Amino acid sequence: MAVVGGEPRCKNAPASSRGAESRGARVQRYSIFSLARNALNDHADWERAWRSPDPKPSYAVVIVGAGGHGLATAYYLAKEHGIRDVAVLEKGWLGGGNTGRNTTVVRSNYLNDDSAALYEKSLQLFEGLSRELNFNVMLSQRGLMMLAHSPHELRAHQRLVSAMRLNGIEGEMLSVEQVKALCPILNCSPRSRYPVFGASFQRRGGTARHDALAWGYARAADARGVDIIQNCEVTGLRLEAGRIRGLETTRGYIEAAKVGVVVAGHASVLAAMAGLRLPIQSHPLQALVTEPIKPVLHRVVMSGAVHVYVSQSDRGELVLGAGIDGYNSYAQRGSFHVIEAQLAALKELFPIVSRLRMMRQWGGIVDICPDASPIIGKTPVEGLYFNCGWGTGGFKSTPGSGFVFAHTIAADEPHPLAAPFALKRFETGRLLDEHGSAGVAH
């Protein structure tokens, strides 16, 4: 990516895309003053957050997938690299895939240096995102606690915290007494089935609102001229002489100089359209919420041994997640035995919630690499890029993922933070094993 005379140039992009002007330069700014002003007219004059345009015949860049990662990529292409001739295609509705089906946890407590750097970049972006996007993503840095239930697990957490500190990421170890003080409703009895020996703690960890993140990026990308096209399913990729030429969609053929694919669990389906076979598997991942109660849980609590992670939403619901279902599937539902196991784990850790009722349950489709780390970068097809394999860590990585993927597409070379996650690592054997730091079993 280079800027000459104020005009950004995207390698391999059509000349017509260079220096494209933002089509939504004037966007209504959200503030206490605009809220009060619109209240005088029964809130009838709010502008639409983003347009719903028809697709153009061609674009410099097309992003497939209007979830958080895809929308973040489009936003940073426009903001950081000046590439505004961008379309984001979504087969359903914006944010209706995994973005709207996760458990909203954000953190950067990862073991490997490369993973820690990428997730920390994402967390740093989260911390300034509401102001940058002028949209409240409802970041709540309430602290994230990972419990240790044995001396061996406690040593593993100590190793993790030491690695975090060496990478400049704050983290600390908690004694049983400190755990109890920070989370009084947790069962810390030494006579319990899974006694608590301590915990690792990241104070900057917490939660953010998943749909607000997608909406904020969509609004900001649209304001910079990006076309967000919903109900537009990609049915094929057109290749010529080893490079991407365009996409067949349910709304017609769209020519594109570059295509970035960010479709989570369906990455292998899109890859097959280009004759590629990715080293990933797709599994259902379930979550559920209880009926709402008064605030009782002021931290995010994770337990790999008892196998549940839980936080309390702003509406009072307890939001629960666990591990993936063991079978491969594209169905957005799960198995009853997983629900039963995570509810049993919740009751083991928090006996006071034993009489709560489950209010609703859902599933998302996660794509998992053999090393539980993502794939970000170029493919053997020139101009075709994939961002996939995030497994259970997709939501927390959204800003950082979009930031590095936008750079990779614009410059046609990996961002330094994304370079270790290239597809070629499966040829060289330099894998990034993050099964332990994933927080749940894969």
pLDDT of residue 17: 39
254 CB contacts (<8 Å, ≥6 apart)? 55, 56, 57, 58, 59, 62, 87, 89, 246, 247
**CA–CA separation, 310 and 319 (whole Å):** 5
Q: Which domains does the chain have, with CATH numbers?
A: 56-141+204-278+373-442 (3.50.50.60), 142-202+281-368 (3.30.9.10)
Contact of 386 with 258, CB cutoff 8 Å:
no
Count the residues in the chain.
Answer: 442
Least Cα distance to 315 among 266, 268, 360 occurs for: 360
Q: How many CB atoms lie within 10 A of CB 155?
A: 12
One digit per residue, the tens of pLDDT, for the chain of length 442 reads 333 333 333 444 443 333 334 444 467 899 999 999 999 999 998 989 999 999 999 999 999 999 999 999 999 999 999 999 999 999 999 999 999 888 999 999 999 999 999 999 999 999 999 999 999 999 999 999 999 999 999 999 999 999 999 999 999 999 999 999 999 999 999 999 999 999 999 999 999 999 999 999 999 999 999 999 999 999 999 999 999 999 999 999 999 999 999 999 999 999 999 999 999 999 999 999 999 999 999 999 999 888 899 999 999 999 999 888 888 888 887 788 888 999 999 999 999 999 999 999 998 899 999 999 999 999 999 999 999 999 988 999 999 999 999 999 999 999 999 999 999 999 999 988 887 665 454 4
Return phi, psi of residue 33, to 5°.
Answer: -75, -40
pLDDT of residue 330: 87
Least Cα distance to 357 among 345, 343, 369, 371 occurs for: 343
Strands 318-324 and 308-312: antiparallel
pLDDT of residue 227: 98
pLDDT of residue 438: 58
- pTM value > 0.85: yes
pLDDT of residue 23: 47
Query: Could you give the 3-state DSSP secondary structure of residue 105?
Result: strand
pLDDT of residue 272: 96
pLDDT of residue 435: 75
pLDDT of residue 136: 96
pLDDT of residue 434: 83
Residues pairing with 199 in the sheet: 147, 174
pLDDT of residue 142: 97
DSSP per-residue codes, 316-372: SPEEEEEEE-SS----S---HHHHHHHHHHHHHH-GGGTTPPEEEEEEEEEEE-TTS
**CA–CA separation, 205 and 81 (whole Å):** 29
